[in-house]
Chain A
Amino acid sequence: MKGRILTVAALIAASAFCFAAADGSWLKKVPQADRERVNPFAGQPGAAAAGENLFRNNCAKCHGAEAQGKGSRPSLRSERLAAATDGEIAWIIKNGQMYKSMPSWGGLPEPQRWQIVTYLRSLNPPVRPEERVAAQEAPK
Protein backbone atom coordinates (compact mmCIF):
# COMPACT_ATOMS: atom_id res chain seq x y z
CA MET A 1 0.00 0.00 0.00
CA LYS A 2 2.77 2.37 1.00
CA GLY A 3 4.64 1.53 -2.20
CA ARG A 4 1.54 2.25 -4.27
CA ILE A 5 1.09 5.66 -2.64
CA LEU A 6 4.73 6.48 -3.32
CA THR A 7 4.32 5.43 -6.97
CA VAL A 8 1.25 7.66 -7.39
CA ALA A 9 3.08 10.54 -5.71
CA ALA A 10 6.05 10.05 -8.03
CA LEU A 11 3.73 10.03 -11.07
CA ILE A 12 2.04 13.24 -9.96
CA ALA A 13 5.43 14.88 -9.38
CA ALA A 14 6.60 13.76 -12.84
CA SER A 15 3.43 15.14 -14.43
CA ALA A 16 3.91 18.47 -12.70
CA PHE A 17 7.49 18.51 -13.95
CA CYS A 18 6.30 17.87 -17.52
CA PHE A 19 3.65 20.59 -17.36
CA ALA A 20 6.34 22.95 -16.13
CA ALA A 21 8.19 22.26 -19.38
CA ALA A 22 5.71 24.29 -21.38
CA ASP A 23 5.70 27.37 -19.20
CA GLY A 24 8.61 29.13 -20.87
CA SER A 25 10.68 28.95 -17.70
CA TRP A 26 13.78 28.43 -19.85
CA LEU A 27 13.66 32.14 -20.70
CA LYS A 28 14.68 32.91 -17.13
CA LYS A 29 17.79 30.73 -17.45
CA VAL A 30 19.25 32.58 -20.43
CA PRO A 31 22.37 34.52 -19.36
CA GLN A 32 22.18 38.25 -20.05
CA ALA A 33 25.11 38.14 -22.46
CA ASP A 34 23.35 35.48 -24.57
CA ARG A 35 20.03 37.32 -24.34
CA GLU A 36 21.61 40.41 -25.92
CA ARG A 37 23.39 38.65 -28.77
CA VAL A 38 22.64 40.10 -32.18
CA ASN A 39 21.61 37.87 -35.07
CA PRO A 40 24.18 38.46 -37.85
CA PHE A 41 21.53 37.50 -40.42
CA ALA A 42 18.67 39.57 -38.95
CA GLY A 43 16.20 40.68 -41.60
CA GLN A 44 17.92 38.89 -44.48
CA PRO A 45 15.33 37.05 -46.61
CA GLY A 46 18.00 34.69 -47.95
CA ALA A 47 18.94 33.63 -44.43
CA ALA A 48 15.27 33.03 -43.58
CA ALA A 49 14.95 30.82 -46.69
CA ALA A 50 18.06 28.87 -45.68
CA GLY A 51 16.71 28.68 -42.12
CA GLU A 52 13.46 27.25 -43.42
CA ASN A 53 15.36 24.45 -45.21
CA LEU A 54 17.36 23.75 -42.08
CA PHE A 55 14.20 23.81 -39.97
CA ARG A 56 12.54 21.26 -42.25
CA ASN A 57 15.59 18.99 -42.06
CA ASN A 58 16.23 19.23 -38.34
CA CYS A 59 13.27 20.61 -36.39
CA ALA A 60 10.11 19.78 -38.33
CA LYS A 61 10.06 16.15 -37.23
CA CYS A 62 9.11 17.32 -33.72
CA HIS A 63 7.65 20.79 -34.20
CA GLY A 64 5.77 20.15 -37.46
CA ALA A 65 6.57 21.17 -41.03
CA GLU A 66 4.95 24.58 -40.51
CA ALA A 67 6.23 24.96 -36.92
CA GLN A 68 2.66 24.49 -35.76
CA GLY A 69 3.61 21.96 -33.07
CA LYS A 70 3.05 18.23 -33.00
CA GLY A 71 1.44 16.31 -30.17
CA SER A 72 3.04 17.44 -26.93
CA ARG A 73 5.82 19.27 -28.80
CA PRO A 74 5.12 23.01 -28.73
CA SER A 75 4.19 25.27 -31.62
CA LEU A 76 6.93 27.69 -32.60
CA ARG A 77 4.40 30.26 -33.74
CA SER A 78 3.62 31.87 -30.43
CA GLU A 79 3.47 35.14 -28.56
CA ARG A 80 6.27 33.88 -26.35
CA LEU A 81 8.65 33.49 -29.29
CA ALA A 82 7.54 36.83 -30.71
CA ALA A 83 8.46 38.34 -27.35
CA ALA A 84 11.79 36.52 -27.07
CA THR A 85 14.99 38.11 -28.36
CA ASP A 86 16.99 36.50 -31.15
CA GLY A 87 19.66 35.73 -28.56
CA GLU A 88 17.17 33.86 -26.39
CA ILE A 89 15.96 31.75 -29.32
CA ALA A 90 19.57 31.02 -30.33
CA TRP A 91 20.31 29.98 -26.73
CA ILE A 92 17.48 27.45 -26.53
CA ILE A 93 18.45 25.93 -29.88
CA LYS A 94 22.07 25.55 -28.78
CA ASN A 95 21.40 24.24 -25.28
CA GLY A 96 18.04 22.54 -25.57
CA GLN A 97 16.19 21.44 -22.47
CA MET A 98 17.71 18.06 -21.76
CA TYR A 99 15.22 17.01 -19.13
CA LYS A 100 12.23 18.25 -21.12
CA SER A 101 12.81 16.36 -24.40
CA MET A 102 14.42 19.23 -26.31
CA PRO A 103 17.88 18.06 -27.39
CA SER A 104 20.89 20.31 -27.66
CA TRP A 105 21.66 21.41 -31.22
CA GLY A 106 25.12 22.63 -30.31
CA GLY A 107 26.50 20.26 -32.97
CA LEU A 108 24.85 22.32 -35.69
CA PRO A 109 27.27 25.07 -36.88
CA GLU A 110 26.51 28.45 -35.35
CA PRO A 111 25.70 30.22 -38.67
CA GLN A 112 23.07 27.53 -39.36
CA ARG A 113 21.55 28.07 -35.92
CA TRP A 114 21.29 31.81 -36.61
CA GLN A 115 19.66 31.06 -39.96
CA ILE A 116 17.03 29.02 -38.12
CA VAL A 117 16.55 31.93 -35.70
CA THR A 118 16.02 34.22 -38.71
CA TYR A 119 13.37 31.85 -40.06
CA LEU A 120 11.61 31.60 -36.70
CA ARG A 121 11.72 35.37 -36.39
CA SER A 122 10.01 35.64 -39.78
CA LEU A 123 7.20 33.49 -38.35
CA ASN A 124 7.09 35.51 -35.12
CA PRO A 125 7.65 39.20 -35.84
CA PRO A 126 9.00 40.96 -32.73
CA VAL A 127 6.58 42.85 -30.57
CA ARG A 128 7.31 46.26 -28.99
CA PRO A 129 9.29 46.19 -25.69
CA GLU A 130 6.27 46.86 -23.45
CA GLU A 131 4.26 44.16 -25.26
CA ARG A 132 7.23 41.86 -24.89
CA VAL A 133 7.22 42.17 -21.10
CA ALA A 134 3.45 41.61 -20.97
CA ALA A 135 3.69 38.52 -23.21
CA GLN A 136 6.39 36.98 -21.03
CA GLU A 137 4.38 37.51 -17.87
CA ALA A 138 1.07 36.34 -19.29
CA PRO A 139 0.06 32.74 -18.37
CA LYS A 140 0.01 30.42 -21.39
Chain B
Amino acid sequence: MYERLRNCMAFRHRRAAALVVLCLFAAFQAKAQQEPPYFVTYSSVMEEPGNLEIENQNLTAAPKEAQTFFAPTVEFEYGATAWWTTEVYVQGQATQSDSSVFTGFRWENRFRPLPRDYWINPVIYIEYEDVNGADKSYLEITGNSSAADLAIPNAVLRQYIVRSFEGKLILSSNVRGWNFSENFITEKELNHPMPWEFGYAVAASRPLSLRGSERACTFCRQNFSAGAELFGGLGTRYGFGLSHTEQYAAPTLAFNTPGGFTYRFSPEFGLNDNSATVLWRFGMSYEVSQFRDWFRRSR
Protein backbone atom coordinates (compact mmCIF):
# COMPACT_ATOMS: atom_id res chain seq x y z
CA MET B 1 0.00 0.00 0.00
CA TYR B 2 2.76 2.37 1.04
CA GLU B 3 4.70 1.45 -2.08
CA ARG B 4 1.69 2.17 -4.30
CA LEU B 5 1.17 5.54 -2.60
CA ARG B 6 4.81 6.44 -3.07
CA ASN B 7 4.68 5.50 -6.75
CA CYS B 8 1.55 7.61 -7.18
CA MET B 9 3.24 10.62 -5.53
CA ALA B 10 6.32 10.14 -7.65
CA PHE B 11 4.14 10.07 -10.78
CA ARG B 12 2.41 13.31 -9.71
CA HIS B 13 5.74 14.99 -9.09
CA ARG B 14 7.00 13.90 -12.48
CA ARG B 15 3.83 15.20 -14.13
CA ALA B 16 4.15 18.54 -12.30
CA ALA B 17 7.80 18.78 -13.30
CA ALA B 18 6.90 18.05 -16.91
CA LEU B 19 4.26 20.79 -16.82
CA VAL B 20 6.76 23.30 -15.40
CA VAL B 21 9.26 22.42 -18.14
CA LEU B 22 6.57 22.81 -20.82
CA CYS B 23 5.54 26.21 -19.41
CA LEU B 24 9.15 27.35 -19.36
CA PHE B 25 9.53 26.30 -22.97
CA ALA B 26 6.30 28.04 -23.93
CA ALA B 27 7.55 31.26 -22.33
CA PHE B 28 10.42 31.47 -24.76
CA GLN B 29 9.97 32.95 -28.21
CA ALA B 30 11.10 30.61 -30.88
CA LYS B 31 10.12 29.64 -34.36
CA ALA B 32 10.02 26.65 -36.62
CA GLN B 33 13.02 25.57 -38.61
CA GLN B 34 13.75 23.97 -41.95
CA GLU B 35 15.26 20.65 -40.86
CA PRO B 36 14.16 17.45 -42.63
CA PRO B 37 12.40 14.79 -40.52
CA TYR B 38 15.34 12.40 -40.10
CA PHE B 39 16.51 10.67 -36.93
CA VAL B 40 19.69 8.98 -38.12
CA THR B 41 20.59 10.73 -41.37
CA TYR B 42 22.11 14.20 -41.35
CA SER B 43 21.37 16.77 -44.02
CA SER B 44 23.35 19.92 -44.82
CA VAL B 45 21.03 22.03 -42.67
CA MET B 46 23.05 23.60 -39.88
CA GLU B 47 21.81 25.15 -36.67
CA GLU B 48 21.37 28.87 -37.18
CA PRO B 49 24.13 30.98 -35.62
CA GLY B 50 23.40 31.74 -31.97
CA ASN B 51 20.43 29.33 -31.72
CA LEU B 52 20.29 26.47 -29.24
CA GLU B 53 18.17 23.45 -30.02
CA ILE B 54 17.23 21.10 -27.21
CA GLU B 55 15.98 17.73 -28.30
CA ASN B 56 14.68 14.69 -26.53
CA GLN B 57 14.91 11.65 -28.78
CA ASN B 58 13.57 8.30 -27.59
CA LEU B 59 13.77 4.81 -28.91
CA THR B 60 11.85 1.80 -27.67
CA ALA B 61 11.65 -1.78 -28.88
CA ALA B 62 10.52 -5.20 -27.79
CA PRO B 63 12.98 -7.56 -29.52
CA LYS B 64 11.95 -11.23 -29.80
CA GLU B 65 14.70 -12.71 -27.68
CA ALA B 66 15.44 -9.75 -25.42
CA GLN B 67 13.64 -7.60 -22.90
CA THR B 68 11.73 -4.46 -23.90
CA PHE B 69 13.91 -1.38 -23.53
CA PHE B 70 13.58 2.37 -23.64
CA ALA B 71 16.57 4.52 -24.63
CA PRO B 72 16.27 8.30 -24.27
CA THR B 73 18.84 10.74 -25.61
CA VAL B 74 18.99 14.45 -24.84
CA GLU B 75 20.77 16.66 -27.35
CA PHE B 76 21.96 20.23 -27.08
CA GLU B 77 22.75 21.62 -30.53
CA TYR B 78 24.27 25.06 -30.89
CA GLY B 79 24.97 27.09 -34.01
CA ALA B 80 28.44 28.50 -33.38
CA THR B 81 28.57 30.08 -36.86
CA ALA B 82 26.65 29.65 -40.09
CA TRP B 83 29.19 26.96 -41.12
CA TRP B 84 29.88 25.28 -37.75
CA THR B 85 27.35 23.48 -35.54
CA THR B 86 28.38 21.81 -32.31
CA GLU B 87 26.28 19.33 -30.35
CA VAL B 88 26.44 17.38 -27.09
CA TYR B 89 24.43 14.21 -26.47
CA VAL B 90 23.70 12.65 -23.10
CA GLN B 91 22.10 9.23 -23.16
CA GLY B 92 20.83 6.34 -21.11
CA GLN B 93 18.51 3.38 -21.27
CA ALA B 94 16.13 1.32 -19.15
CA THR B 95 15.56 -2.38 -19.79
CA GLN B 96 12.56 -4.22 -18.43
CA SER B 97 13.41 -6.72 -15.67
CA ASP B 98 16.97 -5.47 -15.72
CA SER B 99 18.11 -1.93 -14.84
CA SER B 100 18.36 1.69 -15.89
CA VAL B 101 21.83 2.89 -16.80
CA PHE B 102 23.55 6.04 -17.97
CA THR B 103 25.30 5.02 -21.15
CA GLY B 104 27.54 7.97 -21.93
CA PHE B 105 27.95 11.16 -23.90
CA ARG B 106 28.97 12.28 -27.36
CA TRP B 107 30.34 15.55 -28.67
CA GLU B 108 29.96 16.20 -32.35
CA ASN B 109 30.91 19.03 -34.68
CA ARG B 110 29.65 19.63 -38.18
CA PHE B 111 31.42 21.88 -40.67
CA ARG B 112 30.03 23.10 -43.94
CA PRO B 113 33.10 23.88 -46.04
CA LEU B 114 31.56 25.43 -49.15
CA PRO B 115 30.30 29.01 -48.93
CA ARG B 116 27.22 28.63 -51.11
CA ASP B 117 24.32 26.31 -51.79
CA TYR B 118 25.20 23.92 -54.60
CA TRP B 119 23.33 21.04 -56.22
CA ILE B 120 25.10 18.80 -53.71
CA ASN B 121 26.30 20.21 -50.41
CA PRO B 122 29.01 18.44 -48.40
CA VAL B 123 29.30 18.64 -44.62
CA ILE B 124 32.20 17.24 -42.59
CA TYR B 125 31.18 15.59 -39.32
CA ILE B 126 33.58 14.80 -36.47
CA GLU B 127 32.50 13.16 -33.23
CA TYR B 128 34.05 11.93 -30.00
CA GLU B 129 32.07 9.29 -28.11
CA ASP B 130 32.47 8.03 -24.57
CA VAL B 131 29.78 5.39 -24.25
CA ASN B 132 29.47 1.95 -22.72
CA GLY B 133 28.25 -1.26 -24.31
CA ALA B 134 24.76 -0.81 -22.86
CA ASP B 135 24.09 2.02 -25.32
CA LYS B 136 20.89 1.23 -27.23
CA SER B 137 20.33 4.62 -28.83
CA TYR B 138 20.93 3.48 -32.45
CA LEU B 139 22.11 6.97 -33.40
CA GLU B 140 24.10 5.21 -36.09
CA ILE B 141 25.16 1.65 -36.92
CA THR B 142 28.74 0.83 -37.73
CA GLY B 143 30.77 -2.36 -38.05
CA ASN B 144 29.19 -5.74 -37.44
CA SER B 145 26.43 -5.25 -34.90
CA SER B 146 23.57 -7.57 -34.07
CA ALA B 147 20.25 -7.15 -32.25
CA ALA B 148 21.11 -10.39 -30.41
CA ASP B 149 23.41 -8.27 -28.21
CA LEU B 150 20.29 -6.65 -26.76
CA ALA B 151 19.72 -9.82 -24.71
CA ILE B 152 22.96 -9.38 -22.75
CA PRO B 153 22.34 -7.98 -19.24
CA ASN B 154 23.16 -4.33 -18.62
CA ALA B 155 25.57 -5.26 -15.84
CA VAL B 156 27.77 -7.03 -18.40
CA LEU B 157 27.32 -4.52 -21.22
CA ARG B 158 28.19 -1.48 -19.14
CA GLN B 159 31.61 -2.92 -18.31
CA TYR B 160 32.67 -2.41 -21.91
CA ILE B 161 33.64 1.24 -22.26
CA VAL B 162 34.12 2.61 -25.76
CA ARG B 163 35.96 5.82 -26.46
CA SER B 164 35.87 6.36 -30.15
CA PHE B 165 36.32 8.81 -32.97
CA GLU B 166 33.65 8.96 -35.61
CA GLY B 167 33.73 10.78 -38.91
CA LYS B 168 30.99 11.25 -41.47
CA LEU B 169 30.83 12.66 -44.93
CA ILE B 170 27.38 14.16 -45.29
CA LEU B 171 26.09 14.94 -48.76
CA SER B 172 22.77 16.67 -49.21
CA SER B 173 20.77 18.02 -52.14
CA ASN B 174 17.56 20.01 -52.44
CA VAL B 175 15.64 19.39 -55.65
CA ARG B 176 12.12 20.70 -56.29
CA GLY B 177 11.22 20.64 -52.61
CA TRP B 178 12.74 17.23 -52.01
CA ASN B 179 15.75 16.73 -49.79
CA PHE B 180 18.11 13.86 -50.54
CA SER B 181 20.85 13.12 -48.01
CA GLU B 182 23.59 10.51 -47.91
CA ASN B 183 25.92 9.84 -44.98
CA PHE B 184 29.08 7.74 -45.14
CA ILE B 185 30.25 6.82 -41.65
CA THR B 186 33.55 5.58 -40.28
CA GLU B 187 34.38 4.86 -36.66
CA LYS B 188 37.52 3.87 -34.76
CA GLU B 189 37.65 2.77 -31.16
CA LEU B 190 40.51 4.56 -29.47
CA ASN B 191 40.81 2.36 -26.38
CA HIS B 192 40.51 -1.07 -28.01
CA PRO B 193 42.52 -2.58 -30.87
CA MET B 194 39.49 -2.77 -33.17
CA PRO B 195 39.58 -2.18 -36.93
CA TRP B 196 37.97 0.79 -38.62
CA GLU B 197 34.21 0.27 -38.83
CA PHE B 198 31.87 1.59 -41.48
CA GLY B 199 28.20 2.43 -41.84
CA TYR B 200 25.80 4.44 -43.94
CA ALA B 201 22.49 6.29 -43.83
CA VAL B 202 20.47 7.63 -46.77
CA ALA B 203 17.19 9.51 -46.70
CA ALA B 204 14.72 11.51 -48.72
CA SER B 205 11.93 13.80 -47.58
CA ARG B 206 9.57 16.52 -48.68
CA PRO B 207 7.22 19.00 -46.96
CA LEU B 208 3.56 18.18 -47.60
CA SER B 209 3.20 21.61 -49.21
CA LEU B 210 5.91 23.60 -50.95
CA ARG B 211 4.03 26.90 -50.61
CA GLY B 212 3.45 28.78 -47.40
CA SER B 213 -0.09 29.42 -46.26
CA GLU B 214 -1.50 32.95 -46.43
CA ARG B 215 -2.85 32.69 -42.90
CA ALA B 216 -0.86 32.00 -39.77
CA CYS B 217 -1.77 28.44 -38.86
CA THR B 218 -0.48 25.56 -36.82
CA PHE B 219 -1.75 22.58 -38.81
CA CYS B 220 -0.91 23.88 -42.31
CA ARG B 221 0.45 21.24 -44.68
CA GLN B 222 3.74 23.14 -44.98
CA ASN B 223 4.40 22.39 -41.29
CA PHE B 224 4.42 18.64 -41.92
CA SER B 225 7.11 16.77 -43.75
CA ALA B 226 7.37 13.11 -44.58
CA GLY B 227 10.17 10.94 -45.84
CA ALA B 228 12.06 7.70 -45.51
CA GLU B 229 15.43 6.60 -44.14
CA LEU B 230 17.59 3.58 -44.84
CA PHE B 231 20.54 2.92 -42.55
CA GLY B 232 22.82 0.19 -41.35
CA GLY B 233 26.35 -1.07 -40.93
CA LEU B 234 28.89 -1.81 -43.61
CA GLY B 235 31.20 -4.08 -41.65
CA THR B 236 34.84 -3.40 -40.92
CA ARG B 237 38.06 -2.88 -42.79
CA TYR B 238 38.58 -6.66 -42.84
CA GLY B 239 35.01 -7.66 -43.59
CA PHE B 240 33.21 -5.05 -45.62
CA GLY B 241 29.56 -5.61 -46.55
CA LEU B 242 25.89 -5.38 -45.67
CA SER B 243 25.18 -8.93 -44.55
CA HIS B 244 26.74 -9.40 -41.09
CA THR B 245 25.22 -6.37 -39.47
CA GLU B 246 21.92 -4.61 -38.81
CA GLN B 247 19.93 -2.86 -41.56
CA TYR B 248 16.77 -0.77 -41.12
CA ALA B 249 14.25 1.01 -43.34
CA ALA B 250 12.04 3.68 -41.84
CA PRO B 251 9.26 6.02 -42.89
CA THR B 252 9.53 9.30 -40.97
CA LEU B 253 7.11 12.08 -40.19
CA ALA B 254 7.75 15.49 -38.63
CA PHE B 255 5.50 18.28 -37.48
CA ASN B 256 7.04 21.74 -37.00
CA THR B 257 4.79 23.92 -34.88
CA PRO B 258 5.02 27.70 -35.37
CA GLY B 259 5.72 27.91 -31.61
CA GLY B 260 9.15 26.39 -32.03
CA PHE B 261 8.48 22.76 -31.16
CA THR B 262 9.16 19.97 -33.62
CA TYR B 263 7.69 16.50 -33.14
CA ARG B 264 9.02 13.52 -35.05
CA PHE B 265 8.02 9.92 -35.29
CA SER B 266 9.43 6.91 -37.09
CA PRO B 267 8.93 3.14 -36.96
CA GLU B 268 12.16 1.50 -38.13
CA PHE B 269 11.84 -1.96 -39.63
CA GLY B 270 14.65 -4.48 -39.53
CA LEU B 271 15.63 -5.81 -42.94
CA ASN B 272 17.64 -8.90 -42.00
CA ASP B 273 18.09 -11.51 -39.26
CA ASN B 274 20.66 -9.41 -37.44
CA SER B 275 18.16 -6.59 -36.95
CA ALA B 276 15.38 -6.11 -34.43
CA THR B 277 11.92 -6.53 -35.97
CA VAL B 278 10.94 -2.92 -35.34
CA LEU B 279 12.36 0.04 -33.43
CA TRP B 280 9.93 2.79 -32.47
CA ARG B 281 11.48 6.20 -32.39
CA PHE B 282 9.90 9.51 -31.40
CA GLY B 283 11.34 12.86 -30.50
CA MET B 284 10.55 16.40 -29.55
CA SER B 285 12.82 19.36 -30.04
CA TYR B 286 12.67 23.00 -29.17
CA GLU B 287 14.75 25.78 -30.62
CA VAL B 288 15.77 28.65 -28.37
CA SER B 289 16.22 31.57 -30.73
CA GLN B 290 19.36 33.65 -30.39
CA PHE B 291 20.44 31.97 -27.16
CA ARG B 292 23.75 33.80 -27.61
CA ASP B 293 22.01 37.15 -27.02
CA TRP B 294 21.22 36.11 -23.46
CA PHE B 295 24.88 36.64 -22.67
CA ARG B 296 25.24 39.98 -24.40
CA ARG B 297 24.78 43.27 -22.61
CA SER B 298 22.75 44.96 -25.34
CA ARG B 299 20.00 42.57 -26.38
A: residues with CB less than 8 A from B are 46, 49-51, 53-54, 56-58, 60-62, 70-71, 94-112, 115
Contacts and interface: CB of A to CB of B under 8 A. Distances in A.
Interface of B: 29-36, 43-46, 48-51, 79, 81-83, 112, 114-117, 121, 174, 176-177, 179, 207, 210-216, 222, 258, 289-290, 293, 296, 298-299
Nearest to A116: B212
23 contacts: A49-B215, A57-B31, A57-B32, A57-B258, A58-B32, A60-B31, A71-B296, A71-B299, A96-B117, A97-B82, A98-B82, A98-B83, A98-B115, A99-B115, A101-B81, A103-B79, A103-B82, A104-B121, A106-B44, A107-B34, A112-B210, A112-B212, A115-B211
- Tell me the dominant secondary structure on chain A's binding face: helix
A61 B289 contact: yes
Contacts of A53: 212-216
A107 B44 contact: yes
A56 B112 contact: no
A82 B215 CA distance: 26
Given A61-B289, A95-B117, A106 B216 contact: no
Contacts of A108: 34
Nearest to B298: A71
Contacts of A60: 31
Nearest to B225: A109
A10 to B, nearest CB: 17
- Tell me the dominant secondary structure on chain B's binding face: loop
A85 B6 CA distance: 67
Contact of A107 (B36, B51, B213, B216): B36
Contacts of A110: 176-177, 210
Contacts of B36: 107
A115 B213 CA distance: 10
A123 to B, nearest CB: 16
Given A57-B32, A98-B115, A106 B174 contact: yes
A46 B50 CA distance: 32
A104 B212 contact: no
A94 B48 CA distance: 14
A23 B291 CA distance: 26
Nearest to A61: B289
Given A51-B212, A58-B34, A112-B211, 7 more contacts: A56-B216, A98-B81, A103-B49, A107-B44, A107-B174, A110-B177, A110-B210
Report the 3 A-B pairs with minimum CB-CB distance, sorted nearest first.
Answer: A106-B117, A61-B289, A50-B212
A111 B176 CA distance: 9
A109 B207 contact: yes
B207 A103 contact: no
A57 B222 CA distance: 12
A115 B179 CA distance: 20
Nearest to A106: B117
Given A50-B214, A58-B32, A107-B35, A101 B49 contact: yes
A62 to B, nearest CB: 7
Contact of B213 (A50, A61, A71, A104): A50
A109 B210 contact: yes
Given A57-B32, A104-B82, A94 B214 contact: no
A51 B290 CA distance: 22
A111 B298 CA distance: 36
Given A58-B31, A61-B31, A71-B293, A104 B211 contact: no
A61 B35 CA distance: 16
B178 to A, nearest CB: 9
A106 B121 contact: yes
A102 B115 CA distance: 11
Given A60-B31, A105-B34, A94 B299 contact: no
Contacts of B210: 109-112
Given A50-B214, A101-B49, A95 B116 contact: yes
Nearest to B31: A57
A105 B33 CA distance: 10
A61 to B, nearest CB: 4
A112 B221 CA distance: 13
